[in-house]
Structure 1
């Protein structure tokens, strides 16, 4: 099995801000595995919240890829071995995992979601995410998302600023809102007060209201909250789910956090057994990463798979959104591909440090 990677620089359509930081561009890794004439693709979106960077992903890739061996079709125990090979580095683990499933689906002439046995008609409509912004800008962003059944808004943790954003939204739309606090609230009683206020504004759920380290405060908050609380940053691997059931009503699973489709499926199945609500989320990713996560969408209650919609241009083709619902492709594998002009300009590097073909600039999208 031959593994290669390239750096993909993605430009966002607008500055995207959350409580911790803001983005205008993102650098992801795209990788491919070749075996018996079939190529599978994967994407890594490293996130510094989880101790990741582009550099750490590149350093981890040779180590992790060795655990998969030379026979990608013998993947089951290999993927488990990969998860335990290095702590963290969920994004590059996810890239290898999705490339393997893309390869497997193409080898079997089967879409990955059919390999899992899922019904494409069961995919929930996705929300559209609005980063932190001034009132006039948030209204402009909301108009772009007017066709979606739900809007998801990021909060800063500054109460008056956040309330001003929500009030501004309500001047232009009555769409139901999902709120993501990204760990920005620190006092449970103040958090509860804000949740009650947000419930009156048509908010349907709250993601990660407090830091993951404040577990006892989250346990206190759960039975008192008028809205469902969803774990995001608190969830980094499937075994977290059982403990988190004490503090949250639901989980937001991102394949970039937990390390791929196999681990995400384990987390979602565990949550369902515990009676928790489930959501699939994403980082800032191209259509490749979004298509991979979408293979699991029929098994969840909510999807927030809009990372590629925040880009100035998606470097992938084949991902179709209809009536806010991702249409799972009948094509083998993940059902998407990098655009030919993107492939032409990517600088592919083998894990031994060599470069395939002529040296080219890193591809920049948008």
Structure 2
């Protein structure tokens, strides 16, 4: 089995600004596994929040001992054991595991969902995420990107201009709003000050308003917040589900943070066992990553898979969007 990796420099349709940084382009990678004329692809979307950089991904790729499976496609357990020998970035681990599973399913002529034990769903609604911008620019952005076609919008905010952005967007539309602060607030008190001002607006839920290490603040917030709270940055490849259930009402599982399909399924099922709502999200990714995430949407209550819409000249076309719904080709 041959493993290769290709760097993909992705230009973006607009600056992607969240509370902690702004991106004008993204560097992702495509993992390719080949065996006996068959091919499996997996995407890697490094996240600087978890100290993942393009340089680190390439260093980790060079560490891999490719002689282990030179002329054979191993069972998934053997491949997983091989992966676990390395201390890999979770996004790279997902790229490797997904490429392997795609290759295995191609070789065995089975559907990926059948292999994973999930229900195959080829189309679904998604929300659209709006980056942080000056409030006066929201109307032009809303019209330019025809955002009224989506049933729900996710609004990225920071603590400095959050309420102004919510107010402006609410003047433009009655769509449900999902507020995503990406850890912008610093305490229970200043977060509640913001939340108390949201009453006039059509808020569906709030995502990760505080830093993931503010456990006690989250416990107080869960008891006092009138909206559902969803964890994002607090959900990585390891989840203390009992603690998360004390802090949040739901989780946003992203495969790039879970480190693989198998662990992503485990996280989603564990969350549901503790009566947490589930969402499947994404990074800024090509349609390859979104195509992969669609294999797990049957385990999610909410779908946030619009990351490929940020990419200018998206290179693959594995997924398309029409009228706020995404379709797998």
Q: Which residue of 2 aligns with 1:76?
A: 77
Q: Tell me if the contact between 2:2 and 2:66 (Cα under 8 Å) persists in the aligned partners.
A: no
How far has the Cα of 1:311 moved from its partner?
A: 1.3
Secondary structure at the residue paired with 2:198? helix
For these two proteins, the number of residue pairs brought into alignment is 326
Corresponding position: 1:14 with 2:9: no
Moved more, 72-81 or 303-312: 72-81
Of the three residues 122, 140, 149, the one matched with 2:151 is 149
Q: Which residue of 1 aligns with 2:324?
A: 324
Moved more, 42-51 or 113-122: 113-122
Inter-partner Cα distance in structure 1 for 2:156 and 2:228? 16
Matching of residues 60-99 of structure 1 within 5 Å: 60-63=60-63, 69-70=69-70, 71-76=72-77, 78-79=79-80, 82-83=83-84, 85-86=86-87, 89-99=89-99
Large movers: runs of 4+ above 6 Å: none
Secondary structure at the residue paired with 1:191? helix
Inter-partner Cα distance in structure 1 for 2:326 and 2:264? 18
Alpha-carbon displacement from aligned partner over 1:274-298 (angstroms, at most 9, x marks no partner)? 1100011111111111111111011
Inter-partner Cα distance in structure 2 for 1:84 and 1:232? 27
Alpha-carbon displacement from aligned partner over 1:297-339 (angstroms, at most 9, x marks no partner)? 111001111111011111112313344333344xxxxxxxxxx
Coordinate RMSD, CA, aligned: 2.0
Inter-partner Cα distance in structure 2 for 1:201 and 1:18? 21
Inter-partner Cα distance in structure 2 for 1:307 and 1:291? 11
Q: 1:255 to 1:323 in 2, by over 3 A?
A: same
Q: Tell me if the contact between 2:14 and 2:24 (Cα under 8 Å) persists in the aligned partners.
A: yes
Inter-partner Cα distance in structure 1 for 2:13 and 2:20? 20
Q: 1:115 to 1:325 in 2, by over 3 A?
A: farther
Q: Which residue of 1 aligns with 2:222?
A: 222
Inter-partner Cα distance in structure 2 for 1:130 and 1:225? 23
How far has the Cα of 1:118 moved from its partner?
A: 3.4
Inter-partner Cα distance in structure 2 for 1:63 and 1:104? 23
What's the TM-score once normalised by structure 1's chain length? Answer: 0.84
Inter-partner Cα distance in structure 2 for 1:84 and 1:205? 39
Q: 1:40 to 1:320 in 2, by over 3 A?
A: same
Q: Which residue of 2 aligns with 1:168?
A: 168
Alpha-carbon displacement from aligned partner over 1:230-279 (angstroms, at most 9, x marks no partner)? 11111111433332111111111111111121111111011011110001
Q: 1:122 to 1:218 in 2, by over 3 A?
A: farther
Q: 1:246 to 1:155 in 2, by over 3 A?
A: same
Q: Tell me if the contact between 2:40 and 2:100 (Cα under 8 Å) persists in the aligned partners.
A: yes
Q: Which residue of 2 aligns with 1:257?
A: 257
Inter-partner Cα distance in structure 2 for 1:140 and 1:66? 50
Secondary structure at the residue paired with 1:239? coil
Matching of residues 169-188 of structure 1 within 5 Å: 169-188=169-188
Q: Which consecutive unaligned segments of at least 5 residues does structure 2 have?
A: none
Corresponding position: 1:139 with 2:123: no
Q: 1:34 to 1:317 in 2, by over 3 A?
A: same
Corresponding position: 1:35 with 2:35: yes
Q: Which residue of 2 aligns with 1:113?
A: 113
How far has the Cα of 1:67 moved from its partner?
A: 10
How far has the Cα of 1:189 moved from its partner?
A: 2.0
User: Relative contact order: is structure 1 or structure 2 higher (C-alpha 8 Å, sep ≥ 6)?
Assistant: 1
Inter-partner Cα distance in structure 2 for 1:274 and 1:72? 37
Q: Tell me if the contact between 1:124 and 1:298 (Cα under 8 Å) persists in the aligned partners.
A: no
Q: Tell me if the contact between 1:235 and 1:253 (Cα under 8 Å) persists in the aligned partners.
A: yes
How far has the Cα of 1:80 moved from its partner?
A: 5.4
Q: 1:324 to 1:73 in 2, by over 3 A?
A: farther
